[in-house]
Structure 1
Amino acid sequence: MGIILEINGFKYFAPLSSFKPKHKRLCETIDFIKVGIYAVINLNNMFPAPLNLCKAVQIENIKNEHYRNLVRAKYRIIKQKTEQIVNNAKDVYNHKMINDGKSKLSQRCNDFRNLELKCKEYSDKKK
């Protein structure tokens, strides 16, 4: 589960990670966003994904009530933080493209340039 962002003409998937005890003591950074006490988003791990391979979660179709409520809680917080998430994602992306390997942030980011190339190759092959 994660969120879809538009960056550089690509749909980027930013996965949610489960909230762990260590996340309580960590502060949010440009590439690390807390989704309450439920999850975190590590924007350095985002990657381009063809939209046809992404599936929207239909919250009302989740049978387990506890899990459905958990997903609703995450969704509400993500909606509140949408602007921060989008702006941070673009900043992380631009930082990686400019400083590739020259900073700690760029070193822990996925190779967006290569992933975009592979995503385009995959999409072109499927046409």
Structure 2
Amino acid sequence: MEESLQQFKADFFKALAHPLRIRILELLVDGKKNVNEIQSCLEKEGSAVSQQLSVLRGKNIVHGTKEGKKVYYSLSDPMIGELLGVAKDIFNNHLINTISRLEEMTINENNEEDM
């Protein structure tokens, strides 16, 4: 059972491991969108968007619902939006830590020059 969970996590994160797929998911956090709307927001070609949506659909991260002639995509689980928010927080923490280290290095260099 534990190995199945680890495999699920690995496959899930592999499916997220593309900047365009992340961007698509960020758009879908705000609600369902069709391919044309996604293309327009991302300023990307239809084939690129469709290819990435196919990967996300294949891993059950998004699902499509046909309404008339259009297919609208949405997140299969709202917690995906929370995960993206946590990833952003981790990025910000990393950035803050890096800036702090750089500031410390600059202070140390200035102190050594004053001696």
- TM above 0.5: no
- Report the structure, 1 or 2, having the larger strand content: 1
Between Structure 1 and Structure 2, whose CA radius of gyration is higher?
A: 2
